[in-house]
Amino acid sequence: MIKSYPERLIDENGLRLDGRRPDELRPIKLEIGVLGNADGSAYIEQGKNKILVGVYGPREIHPKHAELPNRAVLRCRYRMAPFSTEERKNPAPSRREIEISKVIREALEPAVMSEYYPRTVIDIFIEALQCDGGTRCAGIVAASLALADAGIPMRDLVSS
């Protein structure tokens, strides 16, 4: 974390404070199949961001009344670990996390061919272990990989 802000964010060589060019991405590392118990899983590191995603399903839905007769329900939970930021984050789901969960679900929904598994649910758990900006985007990338790893039919992989 930068404590005092410098006057110039791009130096005379045209590089950003961390030495990247203006159009350069942070280094990305992706891994799949990292969790044994989940049907599909993925892990992403983008710069200092570290995110773990587990996918369960398609499986039987509880509560039963939430099922849809024509397609699978997609449930998504984005969560930041209490130790993911410099200052401890309250582990209770915040307004921000609830909204990001919804946004990620809506980003993935068009890609997943949920009509192949009616009356079931696909659960996606996104756990941000270390956060440094842009965790929702990195989370979407990892979630789409975890869905592919689970063998769920998709129109395409999702990136953001």
Partner 1 sequence: MAIYTQKKQIVTPGELLAQGEYYPELNTFKEKDKIYSMIVGLFDYRGNRLSVVPLKHCYIPYVGDLVIGKVVDSGMSGWTVDINSPYSALLPLTEAISRPHSMRKDVEGILRIGDMIKAKVIAFDRTKDPILTIRDRDLGKVTRGKVVKILPSKIPRLIGKKGSMINLLKKVSLCDLTVGQNGVILVMCKSSEAEEAVIDVIRMIEREAHTQGLTDRVSEALRRRIAGTQ
Can you give the binding site for partner 1, defined by CB under 8 A?
Answer: 39-40, 57-60, 69, 111, 113, 117-120, 148-157
> Three-state secondary structure along 96-146?
HHHHHHHHHHHHHCCCECHHHCCCEEEEEEEEEEECCCCHHHHHHHHHHHH
Output the smallest distance, CB 30 to partner 1, in A: 12
CB nearer to partner 1: pick between 97 and 149:
149
Output the smallest distance, CB 104 to partner 1, in A: 17
Output the smallest distance, CB 160 to partner 1, in A: 15
CB nearer to partner 1: pick between 40 and 139:
40
C-beta of residue 68 within 8 angstroms of C-beta of residue 119:
yes
CB nearer to partner 1: pick between 78 and 117:
117
C-beta of residue 111 within 8 angstroms of C-beta of residue 154:
yes
Output the smallest distance, CB 114 to partner 1, in A: 12
C-beta of residue 155 within 8 angstroms of C-beta of residue 115:
no
